[in-house]
Amino acid sequence: MNYSARNFVVSLLTKDDQIKAEDKFSQLVENYPSAFLKNCLNNIGTHDTERIKTVLHGNENLVAIAFSLLMMLPGVPCIYYGDEAGLIGKKTLIIAASFHGDVGVNF
């Protein structure tokens, strides 16, 4: 799992430290073989990260941008269960919200 790609996307969209995020991602690209980066699973959600919609404070436009960036980074895009439907929640091994018709995210 390419957590560096996730951290890069989150940092860019939350305005944490965008310059630092860009520098770290540039270092990743420069220091790892091209074949490694092309075969990494790029994800913005896993069982041990908060759901992307939670991290982006429910802003569906930013969620859509996050998925767009995910598809453009070197590597294999990987969408974790629940993120594709816009579920909210914290770190968990189970789905952190249920499908009760309140999700309403269209990508």
What pLDDT, on the 0 to 100 scale, is given for residue 59? Answer: 92
Q: What is the pLDDT of residues 2-52, one digit of tens each?
A: 788 888 888 889 877 777 888 878 888 888 888 888 888 888 877 777 888
**Res 61 pLDDT > 90:** yes
**Res 91 pLDDT > 80:** no
Tokens of 98: 């249920």
**Res 70 pLDDT > 90:** no
CB 93, CB 41: distance < 8 Å: no
Distances (CA, A) of 43 to 47, 56, 69, 100, 101: 11, 15, 10, 25, 25
Q: Whole-angstrom Cα distance, residue 18 to residue 88?
A: 24
What pLDDT, on the 0 to 100 scale, is given for residue 62? Answer: 93
**Which element (helix H / strand E) includes 89?**
none
What pLDDT, on the 0 to 100 scale, is given for residue 96? Answer: 47
CB 41, CB 3: distance < 8 Å: no
Task: Write down the pTM of the prediction.
Answer: 0.72
What pLDDT, on the 0 to 100 scale, is given for residue 100? Answer: 52
